[in-house]
Structure 1
Amino acid sequence: MKLDDKNLTETGLTPKGQGRLLLIACGALAREILDLIKQNGWTHIDLQCLPAKLHLYPDQIVDAVENAVEKHRDNYDRIFIAYADCGTGGLLEAKCAELGVDMIAGPHCYSFFEGNDTFAALGEVTAFYLTDFLVRQFDAFIWRPMGLDRHPELRDMMFGNYTKLVYQAQINDPALVDLARSHAERLGLDFEHRQTGYGDLAMVLEQEAAR
């Protein structure tokens, strides 16, 4: 399957074959996880990515994860869930416990990219966050789903309590920084660029790969 944002958003990414460890992850994390697998030579790890568009419908995440676990668990020694809570209100954590699989700690990917402890300490309740994926997919995940393409006057109602847009960059790409800055301008927010890298995601996957 071609690795591009469209198929990661619409169809997800299926594993290529059997391995000791299967990661079931959000499609919005596919590039980062594949980079970490390549950089670290984790040849014993396979990846299944569920469609990133599930983030628009968090009530569907739990069922999608459960179905993926049940589909693949007989072929793998271990499965790890590369989702945080992601708007499921604790239901994903409860389901993972029921299924006997572990998952990444934290409320969402913005937290674990920043580092969960650091993110909690910052307490930035008026910051709106973007990752590399969301910078590239801003229109598909934010502008159009919120109706701002049709009703730009909704901007103040939806973003009036935010003060800044924080771009948490996983890779160093000046073009993405410029694009993120343009998104901040569209939303009428101050702009802040942070080179977070992979944050806790790298640490957690390293631990899982070594088990």
Structure 2
Amino acid sequence: MTPPDDATLTISGLPPEGAGRILLIACGALAHEILALKRINHWSHLDLQCLPANLHLWPDRIPAAVEQAVTDHRANYDRVFIVYADCGTGGLLQAKCAELGVQMVEGPHCYSFFEGNAAFAAKAEDEFTAFYLTDFLVRQFDAFVWRPMGLDRHPELRDMYFGNYT
């Protein structure tokens, strides 16, 4: 797995091993990919603390959850990085990270991490009818889409919700 060019630049900006302990506070939906990058690159100086992926169902709760995680863990690390995009917080997460003095990965949402923010933005006008499915979302479809959207109780809503996706 090779991350996109702009993600490589962001990730490679992390201090090398021996420069102190680093904590990545991330969305649980990205855990598999982050752990793969950590393993492939032998980043033994990085630790990962994931927050529940279902916070995306309530984006307004993400900044407070990130703040709590930073507060809980900051004293044990030389640096803390936030591996979330805006994820529907309307800039509140970026403001919270600035207030806390921690860096956050840039991007509108984590789907843009997979192909890089520039490539994702270039396709945004052409793919606005796309419903993005990551491996995580496919595995957790019932918990993150089907039940929260009420489709388990009202399957007739499926075409209304998804009818304009191509």
Same-fold status (TM-score > 0.5): yes
For 1:152 and 1:115, locate their aligned partners in 2 and report how far apart those are by CA, in whole Å: 34
Deviation, 1:160, is 2.2
Q: Residues 123-156 of structure 1: CA distance to partner in whole angstroms, max 9, x if unpaired?
A: 2111100101001111111111111111111112
Deviation, 1:60, is 0.7
Task: Report which stretch shifted further, 145-154 or 82-91.
Answer: 145-154
1:139 aligns to 2:146 (yes or no) = no
Q: Which of 161, 164, 167 is residue 164 of structure 2 equivalent to?
A: 161
Paired letter, 1:141:
F
Greater relative contact order (CA < 8 Å, ≥ 6 in sequence)? 2
Paired letter, 1:86:
C
**Aligned residue pairs, count:** 145
Paired letter, 1:129:
Y
For 1:156 and 1:31, locate their aligned partners in 2 and report how far apart those are by CA, in whole Å: 31
1:148 aligns to 2:151 (yes or no) = yes
The secondary structure found in structure 2 opposite 1:128 is: coil
Task: Report which stretch shifted further, 152-161 or 135-144.
Answer: 152-161
For 2:113 and 2:52, locate their aligned partners in 1 and report how far apart those are by CA, in whole Å: 20
Q: Which of 124, 129, 133 is residue 130 of structure 1 equivalent to?
A: 133
For 1:78 and 1:66, locate their aligned partners in 2 and report how far apart those are by CA, in whole Å: 14
The secondary structure found in structure 1 opposite 2:25 is: strand
1:62 aligns to 2:63 (yes or no) = yes
Gaps of 5+ in 1: 1-18, 164-211
The secondary structure found in structure 2 opposite 1:129 is: coil
Paired letter, 1:59:
D
Paired letter, 2:158:
R
The secondary structure found in structure 1 opposite 2:24 is: strand
For 1:57 and 1:84, locate their aligned partners in 2 and report how far apart those are by CA, in whole Å: 14
Question: How do 1:163-178 and structure 2 match up within 5 A?
Answer: 163=166
Instruction: Give the TM-score of the pair, scaled to structure 1.
Output: 0.67
For 1:112 and 1:32, locate their aligned partners in 2 and report how far apart those are by CA, in whole Å: 10
1:113 maps to what in 2?
Answer: 114
For 2:130 and 2:61, locate their aligned partners in 1 and report how far apart those are by CA, in whole Å: 26
Q: Residues 14-58 of structure 1: CA distance to partner in whole angstroms, max 9, x if unpaired?
A: xxxxx6100000111111111111111111111100111111111
Paired letter, 1:65:
V
For 1:74 and 1:140, locate their aligned partners in 2 and report how far apart those are by CA, in whole Å: 34
Q: Residues 161-189 of structure 1: CA distance to partner in whole angstroms, max 9, x if unpaired?
A: 222xxxxxxxxxxxxxxxxxxxxxxxxxx
2:105 maps to what in 1?
Answer: 104
The secondary structure found in structure 1 opposite 2:128 is: coil
For 2:57 and 2:32, locate their aligned partners in 1 and report how far apart those are by CA, in whole Å: 19
1:47 aligns to 2:53 (yes or no) = no
